[in-house]
């Protein structure tokens, strides 16, 4: 088992899962009558929309190689195909017609490969929620497609920080992207690169 696959499956730094688990546990264990006051939740008795964050912000300096950001798994449905068809204007029946797909040796309609890439959007994980105030741009995306994905398959996407470097007064983040199906097969692998502000 290679390093990326092992980290994806076993990493103790599954940030999304950890954050959600902690939040859920707190909510479940706190009786309604002893819930925190509005002042404690918001940090002030006056609401400030700029402080309404999903997670505490992180800077480039807070990131670590090996940090994994999971995207919620999803089972592909006709709704996903229809929504992507509207955006891509790809109307080939192999992606949308069950009978056509079966008559051409496929078990179900084939998921459009660019739709698979969309499932690695970093904002679908907690990554951009953490670094949204520091991120400048996404500078590069590369990927390879593995096993075909079909309607009815369940996908498990994730992003892992592979390299951190500095250049020209900016932080550079290289992230491995990966998607596995319910059979543990690689559906997509590749990299995304981001440019971030430095805090020091």
The residue with greater pLDDT, 65 or 11, is 65
Q: How confident is the model at residue 175 (pLDDT cuts 50, 70, 90)?
A: very high
Task: Grade residue 5 by pLDDT with cuts at 50, 70 and 90.
Answer: low
Question: Among the listed ranges 76-90, 131-145, 149-163, which one has the minimum average pLDDT value?
Answer: 76-90
Distance CA 200, CA 196 (A): 12
Residue 143 has pLDDT above 90, yes or no: yes
Burial class (CB in 10 A: 0-12, 13-18, 19+), 68: buried
pLDDT of residue 163: 97
Report the alpha-carbon distance of residue 146 to residue 180 in Å, rounded: 9
Using an 8 Å Cβ cutoff, are 190 and 160 in contact? no
Q: Please compute, for residue 22, the number of CA atoms within 13 A of its CA located in the half-sphere on the CB side.
A: 7
pLDDT of residue 82: 84
pTM of the full structure: 0.73
State how far the Cα of 119 lies from the Cα of 71, in Å rounded to an integer: 8
Residue 88: pLDDT over 80: yes
Query: Is 109's pLDDT higher than 80?
Result: yes
Domains of the chain: 3-24+59-78+113-196 (3.10.129.10)
pLDDT tens digits, one per residue of 151-167 = 999 999 999 999 999 99
What residues are paired with 145 via a beta bridge?
Answer: 188
């Amino acid at each position: 088992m290679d390093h990326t696959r092992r980290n994806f499956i076993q990493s103790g730094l599954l940030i999304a899962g950890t954050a959600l688990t902690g939040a859920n546990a707190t909510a479940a264990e706190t009786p309604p009558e002893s819930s925190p006051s509005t002042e404690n939740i918001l940090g002030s008795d006056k609401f400030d929309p700029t402080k309404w964050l999903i997670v505490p912000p992180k800077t480039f300096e807070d990131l670590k190689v090996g940090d994994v950001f999971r995207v919620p798994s999803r089972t592909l449905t006709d709704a996903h195909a229809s929504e992507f068809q509207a955006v891509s204007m790809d109307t080939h029946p192999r992606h949308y017609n069950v009978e056509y797909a079966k008559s051409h040796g496929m078990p179900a309609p084939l998921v459009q490969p660019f739709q698979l890439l969309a499932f690695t959007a970093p904002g679908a994980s907690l990554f951009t929620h953490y670094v949204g105030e520091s991120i400048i741009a996404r500078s590069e995306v590369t990927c390879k497609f593995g096993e075909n994905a079909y309607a009815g398959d369940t996908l498990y996407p994730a992003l892992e920080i592979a390299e951190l470097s500095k250049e020209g007064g900016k932080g550079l983040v290289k992230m491995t992207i990966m998607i596995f199906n319910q059979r543990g097969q690689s559906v997509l692998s590749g990299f995304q690169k981001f440019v971030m502000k430095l805090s020091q």
